[in-house]
Structure 1
Amino acid sequence: MKTKIRITGSFLLMIILIIVSAACSDDDSSGAKLSFSRSIYILPSNGSLEVELRASVAPETDLSIPVIIEGTAILDEDYEISANGFMIKAGETSATLTITPKNNLTANREIRLSINPVSGYTLGDKKIAIIPVEVKEHIMYTFKPVIYRLLSEIDIRIEVEGENSGSSFRATTDIVLPIEIDPSSTAILNEDFELENGITSVTIPKGSYYTRFKIKIKEGAEDYTGKNAILKLGTPVDNSELYYPGSFVSYNIKLDQLKFTDMLGKWKPVEIKDKDNYVYVGMPDEDWINSLPENNGANDYLEFVHQEDGTDKIIPYLTGDLKDFFCNPQGHTVVFDHIEKGIYNWIADEEYDAPYFTTSQVNRCFSKRKTELGNAFIGLDKIDDNNIIIYFHDFIPTDFFSSTFEEYGHYFDASFFGITYAFTRVVE
């Protein structure tokens, strides 16, 4: 029995020693320690990251702690770091390093930071920081072609798109894209045409994905008809490796000046082109379905003639609905007036310009049941040698669009609710 007591006493003594040792160990763990504030950080694809090192006890003098930089990410290629170590100032308990992404275009790379003990300090539980590097997205830049023909001035649109995010991409900084004139252009900059404010670059602002600028016929320019201006979109200078060209980095624009004599001949009505617009803007069916002026005779046509006295005329040979506008069988004198700019097609989501001509003594009511003779604007445009467009944008809605006209009152805009009428050449 005594032997058992001695064994038990020895065992108890061992336990006491272990407890005392553990207590001493706890005292050591409560000493001055260095530790990252986090074990895992993420370096964003853009912007910067601050990595913090903390000291459990503030040093009495400035404390320099070297950092070991490792990992699959490549310094000065994928990222930059503000220093090769931390400096905790006397009396303070933390310091930071700033890591900035650079050309971080390769996936699955990371930075590994670690520290060694320095005099007076041991390492805490977060002695290593792992920092995965987010990959920057490649960005496509492109013209957004809408109009290839310059009658007076047009807006040019430029867009950027993310390789992964697509059209939801938004610029994180201003993106400056150079604009150049291709030397193969036949039109001469600042002689035949000009870019607004003489720009040589455009900027897509931070938070956006597009920008616009204007190209214009140079005031006083002569003999420019038929020439072309070819615009080229350059790669941004800053971070050029991020960008790649889209489908349209070259934009060929024809300078034009439509004249009535370009359209001489006989033209047969084909169809009204913009019915989808009426649906889009919510025009009531009863305001246009079955009432548009599209019922024409099989042999109906308009003849565009230039007379010996120098006057231009549209002479109607009509039996159907277009007779309700071109009502004088002897013809209507036509005189160029101006270029109507920025007419909008809602379905195509595009603007266009139309040469407006004053047409004499037409029926401004465009109606079978009511006549009001007077001058009216019509827009004329030549698509090619065999096709033209007449824009009816100046009339008093009577047989069609009448309830919309009453609803909108003086806000009714016929260029908004107008008629785009296609004609084809009568070949004899």
Structure 2
Amino acid sequence: MMRNIFILFTCLTFSTCFVACHSDDKEEKGPQLAFSQLIYTLEAENPLEIEVQVSEPVQVNTSIKFNIRGAAIQGEEYELSADEFVIQAGESKATIAVIPKNNYDAGKTIKLELFPVEGYILGEFSFTLIEVQTKGQLICSFAEENYVLPGEITVRMDVKDANTGKYFSANTDTKIPFIVGENSTAIEHVHYEFVDNLDKEFVVPAKRSYGTIKIKFLKWEEGKTTLFLLVPEGSNRFLPGDVDQTEVYIKGMTMPDRLEGKWAFKEATSIDYLRVNNWYGGPEEVEHLPENNLPTDMLEFVNGGTQLKVHATGDMAHYFRDCNVKFLKEQQLYLYESAGIGRPPLVTASMFELSQANVNFSGAHEKLRAVQVGFRLLEDNETLEVTVLDYEPTDFLYDTYESCAAYAQEGEFPMDFHMVRYHFTKVK
């Protein structure tokens, strides 16, 4: 601090002498040219505008060069938006920006000195001093230890100020690098890619305390399903937090070709939920829920998963029919039956169009039409989760369906709060 005060005092003294010695020359040689301020402060995170001015408007565009001195290193600790000031014709001022970069070391300054310009005299502030504030250290921590990548996911990094322990906030965007761990088995640009992120960095927007990146699935391959992301070590600026790495499981989208083969019925996971959530009607609505299925009931996908053959005699046969299969989109579905206390888990499923199914889900009534059904391979790749939400029941939850259908908007599934969800096991 005493050193900075001494520098400031010296500069002010020098400027006073300069003005006194040249007061007579100003009127003789022409208008004055000078910086608007003698002292500036470059804040740790925010760009700074430096201004020069002339005592009267210029007649033509006028370029003003300057010399750069000081301990701060241009290109490493700061950048300049331009290497000259340009005052436009008819104007009397111009600015350039000083942009902080890796300004971690205290006590650094920048000194800009104006070169003479023909027709002008250098005024009171022919140079300016810029004190560079240092950036504080940041604690960087992934929001989750594990992620699952179906088609595309968002990974989040939380940031705190190392000095205060409070969540970080700046007036400009902050970029935080990350690295791909050596233990990753998935290969970038083969099995996954970072979306619009060539530099591999999280961008924390201004006034925010976290940044996000997006990862997109490209290809599923056995043994190439693990991606580790890490906070780099050895940085003066970024310190690893509690969750200094995250593991991304490259699960991939559940596409028809990954379903080829036979899948045997294992369990109906949503029946208990349906039994206690018949919103309308009486207890008779849940007397015939589609829960009676056999281990021999199977769904078989053939021709690269583009056709479905049904081998079943249980209740699931009241809905599924032999049909063509087409992938439509990824869609997030709630696992209402797993909610417990709080919000139910949200998972990403592949929505397939089945060219026909009995939407009445009944052995006595049949209404065939194309339907949308959610398919999701679980992490073991041996369990297939099938979610039926596009149906018009006549044997169970019929009053619930009629009431929900009256309020459903176009494109919505009236029974999306009453999904019938089955698990199947891969037949080897």
Count how many residue pairs are aligned between Structure 1 and Structure 2. Answer: 298
Q: Find runs of 4+ consecutive structure 1 residues off by over 6 angstroms.
A: 96-102, 162-166, 287-290, 308-311
Structure 2: 5+ residue runs without aligned partners? Answer: 17-38, 46-135
Residue identity matched to 2:202: V
Residue identity matched to 2:279: D
Structure 1: 5+ residue runs without aligned partners? Answer: 1-66, 70-80, 91-95, 103-135
Residue identity matched to 1:423: H
Partners in 1 of 2:41 and 2:154 — Cα distance?
A: 43
Aligned match of 1:83: 5
Partners in 2 of 1:273 and 1:180 — Cα distance?
A: 45
Cα separation, partners in 2 of 1:192 and 1:234, compared to 1, 3 Å: same
**Selected match of 1:270 from 268, 271, 292:** 268
**Selected match of 2:231 from 234, 242, 245:** 234
Quick check: 1:212 aligned with 2:212? yes
Aligned match of 2:357: 362
Aligned-residue CA RMSD in angstroms? 4.8
Secondary structure at the residue paired with 2:178? strand
Cα separation, partners in 2 of 1:234 and 1:143, compared to 1, 3 Å: same
Cα separation, partners in 2 of 1:308 and 1:201, compared to 1, 3 Å: closer
**Selected match of 2:383 from 384, 387, 395:** 387
Secondary structure at the residue paired with 1:265? strand
1:352-383 Cα distance to aligned partner (Å, 9 max, x none): 43233332431124357753201212222222
Aligned match of 1:244: 240
The 8 Å contact of residues 186 and 228 in structure 1, kept in 2 or not, is answered as yes
Cα deviation, residue 237, structure 1: 9.1
Aligned match of 1:182: 181
Aligned match of 2:141: 141
**How does the TM-score come out when normalised to structure 2?**
0.53
Aligned match of 1:285: 279
1:62-118 Cα distance to aligned partner (Å, 9 max, x none): xxxxx8x6xxxxxxxxxxx8434875999xxxxx9989899xxxxxxxxxxxxxxxx
Q: How does 1:28-427 map to 2 (within 5 A)?
A: 82-84=4-6, 139-144=139-144, 147-150=147-150, 152-160=151-159, 169-172=167-170, 174-199=173-198, 200-218=200-218, 224=221, 226-235=223-232, 240=237, 243-247=239-243, 249-256=245-252, 258=254, 259=257, 261=259, 264-272=262-270, 275=273, 285-286=279-280, 291=285, 294-297=289-292, 299=294, 302-306=297-301, 312-320=307-315, 322-326=316-320, 331-343=321-333, 352-366=347-361, 371-383=366-378, 384=380, 387-396=383-392, 399=398, 400-410=400-410, 412-413=412-413, 417=417, 419=419, 421-425=421-425
Cα deviation, residue 343, structure 1: 4.5
The 8 Å contact of residues 181 and 229 in structure 1, kept in 2 or not, is answered as no
Cα separation, partners in 2 of 1:254 and 1:263, compared to 1, 3 Å: farther
The 8 Å contact of residues 264 and 295 in structure 2, kept in 1 or not, is answered as no
The 8 Å contact of residues 302 and 314 in structure 1, kept in 2 or not, is answered as no
The 8 Å contact of residues 264 and 303 in structure 1, kept in 2 or not, is answered as yes
Secondary structure at the residue paired with 2:177? strand
Partners in 2 of 1:206 and 1:215 — Cα distance?
A: 22
The 8 Å contact of residues 344 and 352 in structure 1, kept in 2 or not, is answered as yes
**Which has the larger displacement, 201-210 or 140-149?**
140-149
**Which has the larger displacement, 384-393 or 137-146?**
137-146
Identity %: 16
Cα deviation, residue 390, structure 1: 0.5
